[in-house]
């Protein structure tokens, strides 16, 4: 009986340690998978805007950071103030509303603004990186300005259906002629979720710390004393049974 009790406690102890280790490994693998899935990817070939997104609908995740092309005419000019660009610099951006042949429209961040944007006439063909809309105001907007680059701010009866997000220009042709612009840096935006990553890592630490406590628990006097009490109770119970058998 004593051997079975001790064996059962030993197996339970080892299973708890192994369970803590495996739970820690599971959280570690989830953190690694999250880090890999959100790492910057190499740019895919240029694709038409309407092939990766739809006007009037939220931008699909797969469309974020894609290099897209579009053709149409600029219908309106806006200034986006205090926009953060490369190296944490702040600049004003020339933003245009590009009216497509389909009747839909999309916002285009055309260039870093050093003076009042010039009027562009004629058909325009562009390529650029697609970004999700901004959700936080960057500045207090005056007439003709945008507090943030968000198509919801320019929806009107004349332009009821806009593509979600906006395009940062990489190249532009006006009536077949290439434009010379102060292009905005358009690196891939990070889709990492550091809070979730470190949450998984914290779980790894917690589970492995619990496993370590279980591993070294027998070394603590209070645990040894408890084990001795259990063994003494088992031994005393066995002796009582033996004495009872002798009396009979």
75-78 contact pairs (CB < 8 A, 24+): 75/99, 75/105, 75/158, 75/159, 76/154, 77/117, 77/119, 77/144, 78/144, 78/145, 78/146, 78/154
pLDDT of residue 242: 41
Pick the CATH number of 47-178 from 3.40.50, 2.60.120, 3.30.1490, 2.40.50: 2.40.50
Q: What pLDDT digit, counting tens, does each position of 75-128 carry? A: 889 999 999 887 778 889 999 999 998 889 999 999 988 776 677 888 999 999
Q: What pLDDT digit, counting tens, does each position of 162-189 carry? A: 999 999 999 999 888 888 888 888 888 7
pLDDT of residue 232: 55
Cα(181)–Cα(67) distance, rounded to whole angstroms? 18
Residues 6+ apart with CB under 8 A from 45: 67
Number of H helices, E strands in the chain: 4, 8
Indicate the domain borders of the chain: 2-34+194-247, 47-178
What pTM does this model have? Answer: 0.63
SS3 25: helix
């Amino acid at each position: 009986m004593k051997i079975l009790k001790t064996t059962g406690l030993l197996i339970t102890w080892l299973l708890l340690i192994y369970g803590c280790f495996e739970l820690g490994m599971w959280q570690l693998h989830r953190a690694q998978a999250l880090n890999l899935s959100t790492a910057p990817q190499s740019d895919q070939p240029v694709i038409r805007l309407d092939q990766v997104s739809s006007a009037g609908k939220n931008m699909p995740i797969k469309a974020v950071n894609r290099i897209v092309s579009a053709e149409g005419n600029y219908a309106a000019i806006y200034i986006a103030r205090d926009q953060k660009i490369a190296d944490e610099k702040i600049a004003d951006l020339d933003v245009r509303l590009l009216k497509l042949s389909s009747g839909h429209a999309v916002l285009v961040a055309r260039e870093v603004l050093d003076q009042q944007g010039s009027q562009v006439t004629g058909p325009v063909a562009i390529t650029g990186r697609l970004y999700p809309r901004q959700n936080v105001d960057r500045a207090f907007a005056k007439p003709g300005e945008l507090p943030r680059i968000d198509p919801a701010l320019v929806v009107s009866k004349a332009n009821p259906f806009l593509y979600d997000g906006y395009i940062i220009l990489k190249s532009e042709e006006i009536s077949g002629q290439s434009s010379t612009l102060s292009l905005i840096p358009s690196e891939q935006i990070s889709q990492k979720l550091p809070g979730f990553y470190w949450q998984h890592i914290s779980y790894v630490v917690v589970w492995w710390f619990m496993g370590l406590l279980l591993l070294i628990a027998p070394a603590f006097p209070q645990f040894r004393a408890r084990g001795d009490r259990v063994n003494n109770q088992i031994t005393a119970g066995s002796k009582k049974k033996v004495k009872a058998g002798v009396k009979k």
